[in-house]
Every structure is written in C-alpha cells, then in structure tokens.
Amino acid sequence: MIRWGIVGTGMIARRFAEAVNKMEDREITVWGAASRSYANAYRFCIEHQVPQAYENYDDMLASKDIDAVYIAVPHPWHCEYAAKAICAGKHVLCEKPMAMNSEQVQYLIDLAYDHNVFLMENMWTRFLPVTKQVRRWIEEGDIGEVRMMITNYGFIARGFPDSRWFNKELGGGALLDIGVYPISYTTMLMGFDIDDIQTCAYIGETGVDEHHNIWMRYRGGRFVSSISCSVVDEFGSDMIISGEYGKIEVDSFQKSERARLYRNGREPEEICLPHMVNGFEYSIREACHCIELGEIENPRLPWVVTLGNMKIMDDIRRKWGLRYPCE
C-alpha cells in the first residue's frame, strides 16, 4: 500500500483525491491531507473520505503513516514543500511546474538523488491514452516528417485583479500555469534541439503575463512550434501537428480524449479514449509504479526533461523581463 498525503486542499488537491478514490488500484490510497488551517484540512478529509487531517504541513511530512506526498499548493511554494518532503524521506509527485525556475528544479533533483526518493512533475498530459496514440502516429510515420505545431490555449480567468491568475506573489500569469503544457508537448515530440525562440507578451497592470505568443524554431528550420496562451481571452485549447503527408488534430490537448489523423488521400481516422476518472489517474499510476520498483525518476518523464522545459521558460521570461518576488 502506498499511502499518499496531500499538501494543500485546493482545486488540484481535489482532483488528485478524486482520481485516487475512484481508481481500481487497491494498493493506492490518500491517507492524509494538510492545509494552512486545520479546519480546511478537516473539511477536505470529510469531503474526500481521507482518514487523517493534519494540524499543519510539517506534521504530515513527519508522519510515519505517509509514504508519498502530492504537492498541490501554489507553485511559488512547490520547491519549499517538495524539499521538506524529500528531506523527510517521502516520495514526491509535484503539481506542474515543479518549481519557479530551473535553479529550484535542479535543487530538488539533487536533493531527491541524495535522499534516494522518487521525484516527478505531474505533467499528466504526457501519460494520457490520446497522447500515447498521437506519439504512435508520429513515430510510425503516419504524417511523415513533422513540420509545424500550432497550439492555442486561452480562457478568461475570473476574479481580476484578485485571483491567483493575476497575483504576482502567487506566481500568476499564463506561462507557468498553462504555457508549460504546449512547451512540454513540443519537447516531448521534438526534443530540445532548439535553434531560436522568439516571443512577446502583454504584462498586465498586476505585473504578470496575461497573454503571450511563443515561436520556437528547431535547428535547421524545418520544424516550428507556434504557441499562443492567454488567461484573458477565450480561444480554447486545440492543437494541430502538421507533417509532410498529413496532420493530427488534438482536441483540448492538455486533457484530450479525442484526436484525428488526416493522411493525404485517405479517410480521416478518429480516436476517442475517455478518461477512467479525470485524467490524473494515469500519472498517479505511473508514479506509484516507479515507487514500487524503487526508481527515483520516471524513465518516461526523466528529470532532464523537466529541467529542460523549465530552462526554456526561464529564457522566455528573461526576454519579457518578468521575475517573481519569490525568486
């Protein structure tokens, strides 16, 4: 039995608990949760049938009843609590992004290595069945050489200017919260042989990027990834991957259950692969499998990939001149 503790009790924590509770894996359970207040933790545990509410984060991390923790607090505190968990000997699955910058990610990697515990960013999109099929189509050459990816991810975040989406102290803005998805998807398919990154962003009155465009050109110029993200404009989250023989369309790519393959001269092929629960179950099961095998990193999402993606976002923010107070 792998007994999970959840650091934080917000929306992401609820999705994690829901996934574990509805999975058929009897060797996985959420054993405890902690929040900034015991009242929040207690309500969360009652709502999600979690046995133990802890008075504070440190008490949970010190508990011998907890084997692994899910870090679900806002990302400025990911590094702090992931580090505390690692030093307490707990395995860690951390909500994306793993930290605020590549220096913090490298620190956590070094710490996990030294303490011989598992560490993974919860880039759950990578483990979805639709994502696996998209990769299979590309690897089998169904659209030939990939030439371009066009990804849009935009929605209107409510609560301006007080919500976390616009709060610089809470790591607000589009890049770290949603831009990480298309960047990770691009490097998953094409690697890191990037020749040039061009980007522009609108930095709003609260000091965070409300929307941005990123253009990544790979060495040789034969592949380009075009990314548009926004927390103030509603334009969906669809992706087109274009190749020399056809294209792949992925609906709501970050949580996709549906994709279509178009090959020149053939009938389109559509797949529909609904989630078993809410999509988190695949990355949770992947993390648990690694923990059971005694691995400290996931071979399908190794540390070098998480670090490489964060370095790309560091570079993009440097171009914008955007730094966060916690850095």
Give me the active site residues, please: 96
3-class DSSP state of 216: strand
- Alpha carbons 306 and 96: distance in angstroms, whole number: 9
Task: Supply angle C-alpha 189, 195, 199, rounded to 5.
Answer: 90
Closest CA to 100 of 185, 36, 168, 163: 168
Select from 156, 144, 212, 153 the least CA-distant residue to 185.
153
**Half-sphere exposure of residue 178: CA atoms within 13 angstroms, side-chain side:** 29
CA separation for the pair 140, 12 (Å, rounded): 35
Pair 189, 131: CB distance under 8 Å: no
Q: How far apart are CA 321 and CA 180, in angstroms?
A: 18
CA-nearest of 324, 189, 163 to 248 is: 189
